[in-house]
């Protein structure tokens, strides 16, 4: 796999928190119980970190807050040096996000999906084409570049979503239930992709 990181890791640096959560509480309007109640959590940079819990446990709520889509009732979340409430644009720059619900346009080709995402992040022209090509090759999608996304299997779609999320060279990849609905072999394959991202690129992964 080719290197996807913006910068190669150099000399050892002190362990930094990729995510620092303090006293995080969220209560949806009119709900009886808070979805999150005083959560404290540090996720070290360069690790793969899994958040486990039953349905309704608050995982997606936490992801929405981390990705700046939802303002918490109380508490704070910092992504590296950026607070989600005061520096949301910087947080979004740091993050690659794969949401629980599929985010590909089935009518567009794999390449077009990548291009569209790149434009959203201000990438264009040759830089975008090359970056997309490296990522699609890395994820074993080179043969499917021109195919409509709607014709891909669930596992391949997931891979395109991850490739798409990495276009702007995020430092932290966040995935909400990335393997739900995938069969065990595809799950293993996805797991291998994520482990490689961590080991070769020093990517922090939260899922």
Does 180 sit near ligand ADP (CB under 6 A)?
A: no
- Distance CA(14)–CA(67), nearest Å, equals 25
Minimum separation from the CB atom of position 27 to ligand ADP (A): 9
- Distance CA(93)–CA(54), nearest Å, equals 30
Is 48:207 a contact under the CB 8 Å cutoff?
yes
Site residues for ligand ADP, 125-164, by CB under 6 A, read none
Is 79:92 a contact under the CB 8 Å cutoff?
no
Nearer CB in complex with ligand ADP: 59/164:
59
Task: Please choose, from the candidates 57, 67, 4, the residue with its C-alpha nearest in 3D space to the C-alpha of residue 34.
Answer: 57
Does 73 sit near ligand ADP (CB under 6 A)?
A: no
Q: Which stretch binds ligand ADP (CB under 6 A): 9-17, 38-46, 57-65, 85-93?
A: 57-65
Minimum separation from the CB atom of position 50 to ligand ADP (A): 13
Nearer CB in complex with ligand ADP: 35/91:
35
Q: How many residues does the structure list for the chain?
A: 207
Applying CB under 6 A, the residues found at the interface with ligand ADP are 28, 31, 35, 53, 55-61
């Amino acid at each position: 796999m080719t290197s996807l990181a913006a910068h190669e890791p150099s000399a050892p640096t002190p362990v930094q928190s990729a995510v620092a959560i303090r006293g995080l509480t969220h209560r949806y309007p009119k709900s009886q119980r808070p979805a999150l109640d005083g959560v404290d959590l540090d996720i070290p940079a360069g690790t793969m970190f899994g958040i486990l819990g039953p349905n309704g446990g608050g995982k997606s709520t936490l992801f929405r807050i981390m990705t700046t889509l939802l303002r918490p009732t109380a508490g704070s979340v910092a992504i590296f040096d950026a607070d989600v409430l005061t520096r949301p644009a910087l947080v979004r720059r740091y993050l690659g996000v794969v949401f629980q619900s599929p985010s590909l346009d089935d009518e567009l080709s794999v390449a077009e999906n990548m291009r569209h995402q790149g434009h959203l992040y201000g990438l264009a022209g040759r830089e975008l084409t090359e970056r997309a090509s490296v990522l699609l090759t890395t994820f074993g999608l080179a043969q499917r570049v021109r195919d409509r996304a709607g014709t891909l299997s669930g596992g391949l779609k997931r891979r395109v979503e991850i490739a798409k999320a990495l276009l702007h060279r995020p430092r932290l990849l966040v995935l909400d239930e990335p393997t739900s609905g995938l069969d065990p072999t595809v799950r293993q394959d996805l797991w291998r992709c994520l482990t490689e991202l961590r080991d070769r690129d020093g990517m922090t992964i939260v899922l």
